[in-house]
Amino acid sequence: MSMTIKNITGRIIYDSRGDKTIEVEVNVDGFIGQAAAPSGKSRGAKEAEPFPPGGPEVALSILRSNIAPKLLGLGIKDHRTVDEVLINLDGNWNFSKIGGNVALAISIATAIAISKLKGVSLYAYLASLTNTEPALPLPLGNVIGGGKHAGPGAPEIQEILVIPRNPNTINDAVFANIKVHKTVGKLLEQKITNYPLGKGDEGAYAPPISVERALEVVYDAAKKVEDELGVKISIGMDVAGTNIYNPSKKMYVLTSVGLYLDKEDFLQYLAELSDKYEIIYIEDPFNEEDLESFQNLSKALPKTYICGDDLVVTRAELISKAASLKAIRAAIIKPNQVGTLSLTWDAVKTGKDFNLLLVASHRSGETTDHYLPHIAVGFGCKVIKAGIMGGERVAKANELIRMGEHLKTVQRLMSS
C-alpha cells in the first residue's frame, strides 16, 4: 500500500524545563500525525545532537527549507521510507546537520499519521511491523532525584526509582508508584525540618539528604505500600556515573557524605547498597567510558539488572558490544538518542537478540506527548521509565491506563 506525504509543518514549543524544542505535523493522505521531541540534561557523549548549531530556530528553518521539499509528495510504504530520507539528508551518524530532535519528531509524526490512516493505534501499527505481541510495560518511576536533575544539596545519585513487579493490571501498577511517591513525601516531611517538598526536573523529590538516607526513605515507603496493596515493589537507581566521576582525580565524588572513591571502592559501595536495600536495577553505575567496571559489577551482582544508558545511547552497535562482554543485562531505549524510530528499533532488536531487559525511557526535558507508551508496547519493551508525578509524566501513565482498556496483559519482572 503506497501512501503520500501531502504536507509537513513545524513549530517551536517548550518542554517541561521551559526549554525550546521542535514539534512537527505530518500529513499522510489527509491524516495528520503530530509529535514533539524531548531533550535530556544528562546526555551521553555518543548521542545524536538534538539540534544543529544555532539551536531550535535553525532546526525549524532547516525543516522548512531543506527537509520539507524533500518529503512533500514522497510516496512511502511506511515511516521507514521517511527515516531513510532523513538519515541520507543529514549524512552524519549523530544528525549534527539537521538535528536529532527534528528527525525524531518527523519520524514519529509520520508513524502516527500512518496509524490513523490504517485505523489502528500507534502501538498496533508498530507491533505489526516488528512482529511483536503487545503487552503493557511495567512503570519504573523516579521518587527521589539528585545529580543534574536536582542541583546542589540533593543526593549525588541522579535517581532513586521504584517498580511494581507483579501487578494484576496496569492501573494497579500506576497507582502503586503514585502511592509510593506520596508516602515518600510524608516521610520526608517527618524527617526533614522545614523541607518544602521541592522537586527536580522529573517530578521526584529533591531533599537535602545523603544517598543512603534517600534510599532508606524510599525503601521504607515501598515496603509500606507493598504491604498495603499486595504488589511486590522493588527499588532501582540511576547513578549517572559519568556525572559524579572526577576524571582528573579518577574518583567518584559523593560530597554529602565526604566520600571520594576509586572505581573499585565505588563498586563495593554500590554492591553494599544493593544488598542492604534489595536493589534490583542499577543504571549507568560508572563513567560511560569504563566498560570494565560495568563488567565487574555485573559479575558481583548476578541477580541485578545492570543497565546501560550513557554507555550505549540506544545505538545497536554499542548495545551489542556491551552485551557481548556481559557488561549489561538491561538497556535504556531513548528514541531521541538516535533520531528515528527505525534506528530505535535496530537498538531494541539487538537488545532482544541478547535477551536484555529493555527500558523505554523519557528525558528530563519532556513534553506532554504520550507516544512513548506506544513505542514501548509496539517494540516489546518490558519496562517504561517515564517518571511518576508532573503533567508531562502523568500523561504517559494515563495513556498506559487507556491502552489497558484494550490490552490486558501486563509484563512481570522477576530477578535477573
Distance from the Cα of residue 37 to its chain's centroid: 13
CA torsion angle 83 88 89 95 (round to 10) = 80
C-alpha 380/C-alpha 362 separation (Å) is 16
What's the rounded Cα separation, in Å, for the pair 411 and 359? Answer: 12
Query: What cell numbers appear for 25 in the block?
Result: 505535523
Strands of the 3-14 sheet, one edge to the other: 31-36, 20-28, 3-14, 75-76
Q: Residues 97, 100, 101, 103: is their CA dihedral positive or negative?
A: positive
H or E segment to which residue 289 belongs: none
Fill in the amino acid letter for 371: Y
d(CA 110, CA 26) in angstroms, rounded, equals 6
**For 197, left (φ over 0), alpha (ψ -120 to 50), or beta?**
left
Residues 6+ away with beta carbon under 8 Å from 383: 137, 138, 139, 140, 163, 357, 358, 359, 360, 376, 411, 413
Element (H, E) at 193: none
DSSP for 329-365?
SEEEE-GGGTSSHHHHHHHHHHHHHTT-EEEEE--SB
Q: Out of 334, 382, 385, 396, which one is annotated catalytic?
A: 334
CA nearest to 330, candidates 234, 416, 203: 416
How many CA atoms lie within 13 Å of 268's alpha carbon, on the beta-carbon side?
6
Burial of 349 (0-12, 13-18, 19+ CB in 10 A): middle
Residue carrying the nine cell digits 538497556? 331
Residue in 202, 226, 283, 366 annotated catalytic: 202
Is-catalytic flag, 202? yes
Catalytic positions are 202, 334
